[in-house]
Chain A
Amino acid sequence: MTLKSKRNITSMAAGVATAVGYIIYALSNAAPNSDDLKAWAIVMLVSIGIAVGIQIVTQIAFHIAASVGIAVKEGKKDCKTFERGTVERIIKSELKEDERDKRITLKASHIGYSCVGIGFMAGLIALACGAIALTALHIFLGACFLAAFVDGVMSVFLYEKGNRGEECK
């Protein structure tokens, strides 16, 4: 599995952890009343802020773990010719954004945007069917979390399965 796939999986795991934390809070007694939209908006904004913070910390931890992992792997492979700068070179080269990443990101984000669009429609339909505004807000938020998750899954799939491009057929 490539380092980019592992990075995406780590990012997805952090996203799922944040979503689970939010769901636990939203279902607890500490959550605001369903008609207090201002309080819910603050809760959602804080949750998004926490999610961004968790992503940053997770990515830093991932880079450290990846560096150690590569150093151990390369050291075991050929400890006589192992150079000090090799790990940095490998990490830099593995995580470099190039044309393949752009193509994969484009395909994955296309599906992510579709999820957001479907979530928006679902929220509007819920409102039209008489659901409260908080339900629609949660459908929007859920769609955003789902979009990020699907984006990650699609990226990992394309990195692992391959992305040969439709233009060759």
Chain B
Amino acid sequence: MSDKLTITNNIRKLRFFANEMTQLELAEKTGASRSTIIAVEAGKYTPSLDLAFRIAAAFGVPIGEVFESKAE
């Protein structure tokens, strides 16, 4: 039986290091809505692989630096 995966993200930290990029700017760069970015950052929404890659590309880092998962 598979364990439950908990997905966390470092978007807040990455936005800080990207010259305090706003959620609006990140939303515009990824093509998602600002409310989706807010939900992803708060861990309320798990994005699709497509959006996850676009978020990583917006910061210029590999996807593994944005999202982390651990089995419970």
Residues of the A chain whose Cβ atoms lie less than 8 Å from the Cβ of B47: 99-100
Complex formed: what's the CA distance from A155 to B50 in Å?
A: 23
**Is B28 in the interface zone, CB < 8 Å from A?**
yes
Q: Choose among B5, B33, B38, B44 the residue that contacts A169 (Cβ–Cβ < 8 A).
A: B5
* Inter-chain contacts of B34 with A (CB < 8 A): 90, 93-94
**What are the residues of chain A within 8 A of B7 when measuring CB–CB?**
168
Partner of B35, one of A3, A164, A167, A168: A3
Residue B32 CB within 8 A of the other chain: yes
**Interface residue tally for chain B (C-beta within 8 Å):** 23
A97 to B32, CA, bound (A): 8
Q: How far is the CB of B30 from chain A (nearest CB, A)?
A: 9
Q: Which residues of B contact A93 (CB under 8 A)?
A: 24, 27-28, 33-34
Do B46 and A96 touch (CB < 8 A)? Answer: no
A163 and B4 contacting across the interface, CB-CB below 8 Å: no
Interface residues on A, range: 20 to 34
Could you tell me the distance between the alpha carbons of A67 and B32 in the complex, rounded to whole angstroms?
Answer: 20
Q: Are A162 and B44 in contact (CB under 8 A)?
A: yes
Shortest CB-to-CB span from A12 to chain B, Å, is 18
Kindly state whether residue A107 has any CB partner on chain B within 8 Å.
no
Query: A130: CB under 8 A from chain B?
Result: no
> Which residues of B in the span 1-19 have a Cβ within 8 Å of any Cβ on A?
4-5, 7
Cβ–Cβ < 8 Å partners of A97 in chain B:
33
Flag if A168 contacts B27 (CB, 8 Å): no
Chain A proximity of B23: nearest CB distance (Å)? 9
User: Chain B residues near A161 (CB, 8 Å)?
Assistant: 44
Are B44 and A163 neighbours in the complex by a CB distance under 8 Å? Answer: yes
> Judging by beta carbons under 8 Å apart, are A164 and B44 in contact?
yes
Contact A168 B32 (CB under 8 A): no
Binding site for B on A (CB under 8 A): 2-4, 89-90, 93-101, 159, 161-165, 167-169
| Between-chain CB contacts (< 8 Å), 14 pairs | A93-B24, A93-B33, A96-B33, A99-B47, A100-B32, A161-B44, A162-B42, A162-B44, A163-B39, A163-B44, A163-B45, A165-B46, A167-B46, A168-B5
